[in-house]
Structure 1
Amino acid sequence: MRSFVRAAELGQLQRAADELGVTQQGVSKRIAALERELDVRLFTRTARGVELTLDGQAFLPHARNIIAGVDRAITAIRPGSRALRIDVLGLRSAQAVVLHDYWRSHPETDLDVVTLRVNDPRVAVAAVQAGDIDASFRTVTEPATLPRDVQMIHAFDSPLKLLVGPRHPLASARTLTPPQLRRHRIWVPGIAPRSEWAEFYDELATDFDLRIDAAGPNFGNEVLLDALADSADVATLVGARDRYIWPTNYDLRRIPIVSPTLAYPLSLIFRRTNPHPGLRAIIDHFGSLTPLPGTAWLPSWARTPRRGDGAVEHPRR
């Protein structure tokens, strides 16, 4: 069951095997045995790894509940023995980079970084409630709707940069202001309805009269970077801490946006009672990160500090 869950979350049998300390063949055999027991196919193979079938998608939340139940039973008799499990939006995201920096300074930390393949932050809240994960870097933009046993705090802010190819009209700029982005196509494919980033880009486009284009499916970062390298008119927005890798000949440029700095606020969601003992040190680490400059833009739901039950705790800007 654990092999199935990790393979589903990572999308590759080899990566699941590496995390579980077994061979890829061992993971394949375990999943095959589970499929025989259930008499369904849980995965289909792709060029990039494995993807869940419809039956696999239906089975995954129940499998997570089973694993979480086993982990809670073990934790009940061995407090703090389980790895701290934190959900990030992507393994190249600012959240993952910050966690990796923390782990490099504290390699003794037993940390399990996962990516829930969900867009609705309420699904991540449910996973925190169920004990599937200890914390999630998601934001519920209406914090009053949070369950009373779940807390959401401000983690840190991620300044945005414009990413363009060498032929783009703005490619030679050292810095840019939001008005300079007007009339340029900013392509952000795959903005999912009901997601926090959909609300973010809606407000950003409205406040600065920007042309945010979400057209087309999201085929991943590699396809996006290919398009930017070949285009003279397409740009995108990326976080200053996000990790992207592209061939040298692409000559892509990441240009800071200033006056004001555009920033994406990141929150951390976790249980109020009995949080994992390793979580406090991670939260304390956020305080060591470089703060935003005095002139910065944040979406409306992060501009005013709100405290109380289920509220986002956010420093005043």
Structure 2
Amino acid sequence: MESRGTLLLVVSSLIFSSTPVFTRIAILDGIDPLWIVFLRSAIASVILGAAYFVGRKRKSELGNRNSGIANREPGLGNRQSGIRDVTHESRIPNTEIRIPKTEARKNLAIAAAAFTVNLLIYSFALKSATASAVSVLSHLSPIFALVFAYLAMADTISRNRILGALLSSLGAVFLVLDPCKSGDFRGYFLAIGSAAVWSLFVVYSSKAMKDYGVGFVIFFMMAICAAASLPLALSVPLVASQKGLGYIIVLGVLNTGIVYAIYNSGIKKAGPVVATIFMTISPAFTVALDFLFSRIVPTATFAIGAALVLSGILICGRIPAANALAARRTD
């Protein structure tokens, strides 16, 4: 199970690596970040909603077909006399959405809110900083996850975690002080803020998927994001060329709709800690794509900072990831 989840996370990381590059190209083309957030989430919600409801319909039809076949089989007198055929009923897929408890609703609401806020902050960060820098800084989420775990659950902070946090923090300083950076400090601070919000999204979305399932959770959070960002987008004019709108369509279909379906499936199978660790491979591909599309050449300061950030993240996540995988192997 964990090997399949790992594969899904690797694939999603590769797709995610192009997101900051395409988003920044769209912003430089003149599209406001608010419109990017709305259009991405709206396109994705249509795709994911259609996939979810078609899937439910097919499961319902399969259940009805299996029920009809079973009723024509001999030896079903017990069913007709009112005695449940437990063996048969266990084969019929349950197509009803369970009404979860208050805790599950809270997890779903926090996941949707965190996703919306993260997408807004992340998009505005790309307005003021390069795709490579934002990609690296936004992957500081494991550090924030450790801090949240310590504050909320009094989780023990080991030496490895302290070392990882220090390395990542030092790397972030290198990135912010890069003499060849483009834009201003707002983009860097927003990228760090998106990392903090992303850590909340990963934790609470993994909890919500246990009660609602992957399909419903990703459709719900995309729909909420689209609904919340529409009034904000309408407050600014939509200015875009055909090229910019083309990138928006790609962002909505591939980099939002398809990739989150893959990523959340990976979270469900491998766990949130492992998911966050495997996302650290994404910035390396982002740097390559940034050079390919925008001719952004990383400086020595940027390379040192990025290496420190990613090394710190891997050190922090090495023990939790190993423990998570070991626990799943014993299940």
**TM-score, normalised relative to structure 1:** 0.22
The structure in which a higher percent of residues are helix is: 2
Give the number of the structure whose alpha-carbon radius of gyration is greater.
2
The structure in which a higher percent of residues are strand is: 1
